[in-house]
Structure 1
């Protein structure tokens, strides 16, 4: 038998497949769950999916499969289910403004003492008029791996460990992390093959994390619900925009920061926006405190996620933001120690911006950097270039990461947004992400907002 076959079976051939974690106690291991056992958690997930919808607009449950794992006093269910969306042409009412569609959803439901809690929901269309998953899937089935794959991967993984100063507690964990890393390299190649831009995907500092770990630690599932404070829509900018713009060159953007192992992207997105607004109104660029928002914003959930609209409201209620120097970032929740006497910046209001990208371009060029939220598909492995994933793979309805638009332009005729991220300068293009502009890529236009400083 070829030496790479055991590794290949471990990795799986489908995009997103992940190896199992190292074995712990037998009762903590996942097991295949019988269909009747899955119905309760699946119906609960469907109920949460349909929450707030009128009777005729609710999706219905199709096929269900999944696994169960003991978790504390209950069970954690990882489900794959198909949902049938009814016909809908109103995007303010339904998630998919199209005719009837079948969705493929991944749910995680915790059943503890008879009470259910939805921990994760990822849904996307399994067919599309122009870009169907049936046309995508053949591209995911790559040719067999070379016989020296495992040897080469071991060498690459060793280099990764050295580069990013990784240490693992046991030999078993090291072997597991290598299998995760190998699986991720295959995933990165598949994402690369399906990208329509110039982006390059490969090894990053997140390459030894499973997709679930990455989402849980670094992303923000609360953005999908978007149940924050309501903001009024700002007026569009009437003047025409220049062909390119970059607020970094105008002195309105602070250095790239690092949120660490905390889902606090929402705080960094908002402080970046406020930093730009204060600079434009007061002429001073101050690095502002995200930790203040983690500790003192009681509307949001700190490292478990938050919403920009809530953060603006918290800043206004608190009486302003302290600087990074006075209230430094720790990456975990502490007791609120905000002092109004130390506040250096205040805001008067906040506004929602247009979903039209041309209007966003004009607004940005005239009024400053914009807080936005996106679907972070592929960003775990993004290295450089302009990302342009297929729409079914990067659904605008599944946003999970807040970032900051700081500029726009064209590279080799490809329009892009320049996006300040909060994962440090050792990720992406010195901490920046470049995303295709003009196609609503990854939902970049669905949650744009800004603070107002008078």
Structure 2
């Protein structure tokens, strides 16, 4: 007899991890189950050395075994050495190891639910709780988008080439590291201005994020900010100094900007279309684009093209500003190439690859650029 009540239906017992999807119609507060699908999923987690941590997964199901404790201690020790971690006390080390084990399970779930080619696993952030990671590295102010209003950019009429990469054309500086500071907004904007100045003057300069942290009085330094406010601050201040002249400290200081030392200026800033085809066409002709995304899964991202399910990576909950530097396809999967600001020992040499064309993680919701005339 068929089981019509999904709340009491039992799935057949299986040794495999199953991923189930449900399609539910919500009409006037009533929920009707339209469709349910369950199938086995690949639950491999990648490791630093040989690619997989699949040997750990049976252990995660039996955390009381002696084998589990020994294996986990060994993997955690390798993490501590790889990422040069130090802890004050033995108790803190044990606490961090328990977080690390929980994070392996979280990475496994994120892996199972990703529709792209991304691999998730151990990263430099694997001993942080979700709350710590969000508080230290992300930017809660982005989701409100209450910054300066910008004019809409004119669309580029030329069609987007099939692929483009500004790194190959000399318009992108090396990957930087924002440190333990929620200053991604400043890195996203300086990256964009570096590209705009390169296209205008033919000179690639690494520009100062610290100037924005200290001198942009509308934004909140390490507590977050908005690209639109940062463009406005650059205009009001009279330009940006270089990284060499005004170096990054990763915390708020008093403003020591000197107009005489400013090496670049901007005239305006523009908001770009949310159509990803138009964004690609604009990028190929006009330079790297500042965007904001929902950073779901990025704590454990290692490589490949991420494509999280929309409910898990809502475009309304954007919390991290980054820089689109190119786009293309890998094995027929379309991607955006994204410069991040968490150092070169994160992701693919500091870069994140995200599915293109589906509005993944809100990548198209806050695209902008400085204008240099």
- Please give the per-residue CA displacement for 1:113-169, whole angstroms capped at 9, x wherever unaligned: xxxxxxxxxxxxxx9999x9x979x98999861443332111100111111111111
What is the CA–CA distance in structure 2 between the aligned matches of 1:205 and 1:308, rounded to whole Å? Answer: 26
2:69 is paired with a residue of what secondary structure?
A: helix
For the pair 1:335 / 2:251, whether they are aligned, the reply is: no
Whole-angstrom distance in 1 between the partners of 2:71 and 2:233: 51
State whether structure 2 residue 264 is matched by structure 1 residue 345: yes
> 2:172 aligns to what?
253
Q: 1:164 aligns with which of 83, 86, 90?
A: 83
For residues 36-435 of structure 1, what are the structure 2 equivalents within 5 Å? 145-146=61-62, 147=65, 148-435=67-354
User: Using a 3 Å threshold, how does the CA distance of structure 1 residues 414 and 339 change in structure 2: closer, same or farther?
Assistant: same
Structure 1 residue 171, shift from structure 2 partner: 1.1
Secondary structure, aligned partner of 2:100: helix
Give the C-alpha shift of residue 170 in structure 1.
1.0
**Change in CA separation of 1:313 and 1:100 when aligned onto 2, cut-off 3 Å:** farther
Q: Does the CA contact (< 8 Å) of 1:322 and 1:342 recur in 2?
A: yes
Separation in 2 of the partners of 1:412 and 1:325?
A: 40
Partner of 1:69: none
- Displacement of 1:382: 0.4
**Partner SS for 1:321:** coil
Where structure 2 has 5 or more consecutive residues not aligned to the other structure, the ranges are 1-25, 44-56
Judge conservation of contact 1:252–1:280 (CA < 8 Å) in 2. yes
- Structure 1, unmatched stretches of 5+, are 1-97, 103-126
Indicate conservation of the 8 Å contact 1:256/1:422, yes or no. Answer: yes
1:452 aligns with 2:371: yes
The separation in 1 between residues aligned to 2:277 and 2:306, in whole angstroms, is 19
In the alignment, the residues of structure 2 paired with residue 446 and residue 99 of structure 1 have an alpha-carbon distance, to the nearest angstrom, of 28
**1:172–1:405 distance in 2 versus 1, CA, 3 Å:** same
With a CA cutoff of 8 Å and minimum separation of 6, indicate the structure with the bigger relative contact order: 2
Aligned pair in 2 of structure 1 residues 398, 149: CA closer, same or farther (>3 Å)?
same
Instruction: Look up the match of 2:360.
Output: 441
Cα pair distance change 1:415/1:164, threshold 3 Å: same
Please provide the CA RMSD for this pair. Answer: 2.4
Cα distance in 1 for partners of 2:327, 2:183 equals: 25
Look up the match of 1:41: none
State how far apart, in whole Å, the 1-side matches of 2:257 and 2:27 are: 50
Give the paired residue count.
Answer: 331
**CA distance, structure 1, for counterparts of residue 199 and residue 29 of structure 2:** 46
Distance in 1 between the 2:89 and 2:206 partners? 40
Confirm or deny: 8 A CA contact 1:128 1:392 kept in the other structure: no
Q: Output one character per residue of 1:269-315: Cα deviation in whole Å (capped at 9) or x when no partner.
A: 00000000000011110000000000000010000000000000000
Change (3 A) 1:412 1:165: same
SS state of the match for residue 409, structure 1?
strand
Query: What secondary structure sits across from 2:311 in the alignment?
Result: helix
C-alpha contact 1:277 1:368 (8 A) present in aligned 2 = yes
TM-score (norm 1): 0.70
Distance 2:262 2:250 in 1: 20
Distance in 2 separating the partners of 1:306 and 1:129: 42
Give the TM-score taking structure 2 as reference length: 0.85
Please tell me whether the aligned partners of residues 139 and 190 of structure 1 are also in contact (alpha carbons under 8 angstroms).
no
Distance 1:320 1:135, change over 3 A: farther
> Contact 1:273–1:370 (CA<8 Å) still a contact in 2?
yes
Asked if structure 2 preserves the Cα contact closer than 8 Å seen for 1:256 and 1:431, the reply is: yes
